[in-house]
Structure 1
Amino acid sequence: MAELVPGISVRRATRDDLEAIVDIYNSTIASRMVTADLEPVSVADREPWFAAHGERHPLWVAEAGSRVVGWASLSAFHSRAAYDATAEVSVYLAPDTRGRGLGAAFLRFVEVACPALGVRNLVALVFGHNAPSVALFSRAGYARWGELPQVAELDCVRRDLLMLGKHLTQD
């Protein structure tokens, strides 16, 4: 277990964490800024997603004491082998922990873990109107690698999806 910020540690997620992970995820849906899900998901809905995270594409949780206050994951960017060194990164935080530097610390933690996992590039898929997340990744050195204009419709409003990316190594 490592410390992300004072009082908050990080560890690999276990199946026992899935309910807290889902609660944090669901807390973002109503804002229409973070996810393309329009309705809350259930723990059962997320079982296959959880099972897809393993040694190569881990799922971590941040804990304050025994409370899960955030999670971060790596997911396969694409199924074709030539993309194996690239992963999609996601960071989600409980509402009461946002805006305090935990997201930046969690992102740094994930980046440091990547070389041992064979990941040289990270991409984040972020809605263009999600200013806090765009700023988080920008401050961490991510560049805009792509834009998919008006590909999501959230409450009858078409939204852009940005692909933000970072090369972790220059080999």
Structure 2
Amino acid sequence: MSNYKFEKITEEHVEAVREIYLYYINNSTATFHKKEITTQEMSELVLFKNPKYESYIIKAEEDICGYVILTQYKTREAFDKTAEVTIYLKNGYEGKGIGKKAITFIEERAKEKEFHTLVALICGENTGSIALFEKCGYIKCAHYKEVGNKFNRWLDLLSYQKIIG
């Protein structure tokens, strides 16, 4: 399966996207959420009132195998040309080149929306995500030590960025 499609996330996709995210909440430090979130909370994470920001499911054939989000980085106006990129793949779809395709796709959407800089916030022990973003040209610009605590251990948060405009 090397043919992947991207479709805008709608209400009908929210539960499938939530199921993907729940895996990471319960089994990894890819997210700093510690408790399962509701469908309504997931809707708030992936459906945006502001058309500048978008989220897409990633489909392999008819299977939703992940999602990618372009969202607001900070609320102050000076950050209007900066967005945050987030990607989650369904367990078992890692290492197939989907992440790179998704980041390339969302970067093109960000350029169309005239964003200048993209930021990714990654847990320090998430080596797969770090490698993916570095492979896509993102540069580590910050390392926050022990700012999160999950599974009874302190976690670092890394900030990566890429100037696209």
Shorter-chain TM band: over 0.9
The normalised TM-score by structure 1 is 0.91
Rounded to whole Å, the distance in 1 between the matches of 2:6 and 2:43 is 21
Inter-partner Cα distance in structure 1 for 2:149 and 2:10 = 33
Distance 1:162 1:20, change over 3 A: same
Aligned to 1:143: 139
In 1, the alpha carbon distance for the partners of 2:128 and 2:85 equals 16
* Conservation of the 8 A alpha-carbon contact between 1:87 and 1:121: yes
Residue 28 of structure 1: aligned partner:
24
Aligned counterparts of 1:7 and 1:42: Cα–Cα separation in 2: 31
Instruction: Describe how 1:56-135 pairs up with structure 2 within 5 A.
Output: 56-135=52-131
Task: Return 5+ residue gaps in structure 2 as ranges.
Answer: none
Find the residue that maps to 2:58 and give its secondary structure. Answer: strand
Bigger mean CA offset, 35-44 vs 133-142: 35-44
One-letter code aligned to 1:25 = Y
Counterparts of 1:133 and 1:64, CA distance in 2: 20
1:147 partner letter: H
Residue range with higher mean Cα deviation, 62-71 or 99-108: 62-71
- Once the two structures are superposed, residues 132-151 of structure 1 have per-residue CA deviations (whole angstroms, 9 ceiling, x without a partner) of 00100111111111111100
Alignment-derived partner of residue 46 in structure 2: 50
Please report how far the alpha carbon of residue 33 of structure 1 lies from its aligned counterpart in structure 2 after TM superposition.
2.3
TM-superposed deviation, 1:32: 2.7
Does 2:37 correspond to 1:41? yes
Q: Is the 8 A contact 1:53 1:75 kept in 2?
A: no
Aligned residues: 165
Instruction: Give the match's secondary structure for 2:161.
Output: strand
Deviation at 1:54? 4.5
Residue identity opposite 1:139 in structure 2: K
Per-residue deviation at 1:53?
5.6
Q: Which runs of 5+ in 1 are unaligned?
A: none
> How many percent identity over aligned positions?
25
Query: How much is the aligned-residue C-alpha RMSD, in angstroms?
Result: 1.4
TM (norm. structure 2) is: 0.94
What is aligned with 1:13?
9
Displacement of 1:46: 1.8
